[in-house]
Amino acid sequence: MQHVDPDTISPRHMAQVLEIARLLAVTADLDRLLTAIAESATQLLDAERASIYLHDPPSRQLWTRVALGAREIRVPDTAGIVGHVFQTNRLLRVARPYEDPRFNPEIDRRSGFVTRNLLTAPARDMSGRPIGVLQVVNRKGGEFTEYDEALIDILAGQVGVAIQRHYLQQQTVQAAALRHEMELAQRVQLAMIPAQPPRLAGLAAAGWTRPASLTGGDAYDLWITDDGRMGVFLGDASGHGIAPALVVSQARTLVRALSEMNSDPAWLLTRLNARLARDLEAGTFVTVFLAFVDGSGSMQWCSAGHGPVFLRVAADTPLRLLEPTAPPIGVLPELECDGVAREQIQPGGMLAVMSDGVFEARSPERELFTVERLVGFLEGSGRCSPARIIESLRQILIDWQGREEPEDDQTVAIVQRVE
């Protein structure tokens, strides 16, 4: 996919992308959300039509929950261009549909419409599995481009968030007890955990999260960006219940999507704040740490109220505490950020990001674990791998608490420079 330069996106187009993110925060009306996304897709991509297909597992069909300019369409989930995109879970650009054997011209024949070109993208859930399809038809200015692919991928990501949240809310409404609601929230959090740490030459990474019985809305993410760096995200939404879990999942999804256009952490957090500041209830906020590290150890980072963060720049140097460079997301209408901070991590150096549920873990006597104990543990970790450090920390926390389940969510992400 082409890397999108944010300077090439008009303010009007950027406003459309971010407006959809705002709608995700303020409305649970799936039809309104999907219609807004489909309309934005036609405008952003200068297309004649757009359709959003949802997957119906029992019938193994794809059907148009929204179809601008057309009637409802139902097809097997293996049929046509949309079926191919759904099954392969990959975006597809078709310049001449009538020459493509996967294209079904019967729908055109019945409606009198002529399909000249197509751009189709899977809508994925938080674990990366397809749950729908976004398709735009007939670019007015000619054929679709790689730039259009980047834009539709962002919009399809928002479709996936809207659909999965709708399904989770449906399940929550049907739930008979508060415990079931909490279990759903925990599943939202667990669905955001990367299945495997990303691999990048020169770096090793690992992450872990353990939700509390009353979830506080933690999330972490580790991924490789289009420019070949490792993204590190850790967010913690205030409050308890399913709402904070959905808020932090929205923050994580928006950061991942916008990072395809620009992987500057201050730029990303500023735009995240612009969407959430006017939508979060008074007194609620999200702390976010965001960094991008390349294989040589060069790191750019920004922290919106999240800290302390622990950095060891080389194997034999003491830990440093990185303090926040901006207030939490949602506190101010405009994020007042000190800019992007830079560090150079040498071989043996390490970045460790944690939620406050780790150093505020309480013993049976109600004593806090404290940042000082955590620093002592990390100082003694030597050259252990991130996975080994996390495994040791998990056991230490269990022993300290006297039980496995914490009072508040505990989340850790570690990136280490290797030789």
Q: Would you kindly state where each structural domain of the chain is located, as residue ranges?
A: 6-167, 191-417
- Tokens representing 294 are 């390349």
**pLDDT tens digits for range 230-267:** 999 999 988 766 777 778 888 898 899 899 889 999 99
- pLDDT tens digits along 26-69: 666 788 888 888 888 898 899 999 999 999 999 999 998 888 87
Q: What pLDDT was estimated at residue 110?
A: 84
Burial degree of 173 (CB within 10 A; 0-12, 13-18, 19+): exposed
In this structure, what is the dihedral angle of CA atoms 43, 275, 150, 190, given to the nearest 10 degrees? -130
Nearest to 20 by CA among 157, 156, 160, 158: 158
pLDDT, residue 3, reads 44
Write the DSSP string, 140-193.
TTSS--HHHHHHHHHHHHHHHHHHHHHHHHHHHHH--SHHHHHHHHHHHHHHTS
What are the per-10-residue average pLDDT scores of the chain (419 residues)?
50 71 69 86 90 92 86 90 95 94 88 92 90 94 88 87 80 60 63 81 94 73 94 88 77 89 92 85 88 96 94 93 93 88 95 95 95 94 92 96 89 94
pLDDT of residue 174: 62
Q: Single out the residue of 105, 163, 95 nearest to residue 134, CA to CA.
A: 163
pLDDT at 85: 96
For domain 191-417, which architecture applies? 4-Layer Sandwich (3.60)
Written out in words, the top-level CATH class of the domain with range 6-167 is: alpha beta
Secondary structure (DSSP) of 78-110: TSHHHHHHHHHT--EEES-GGG-TT--THHHHH
Please give the pLDDT value at position 25.
61
Query: Which residues on neighbouring strands pair with residue 303, listed in sequence order?
Result: 289
Cβ–Cβ < 8 Å for 343, 388: no
Q: Is 373 left (phi over 0), alpha (psi -120 to 50) or beta?
A: alpha
Give the pLDDT confidence score for residue 212 in this predicted structure: 79
Q: SS3 of 334, please? A: coil
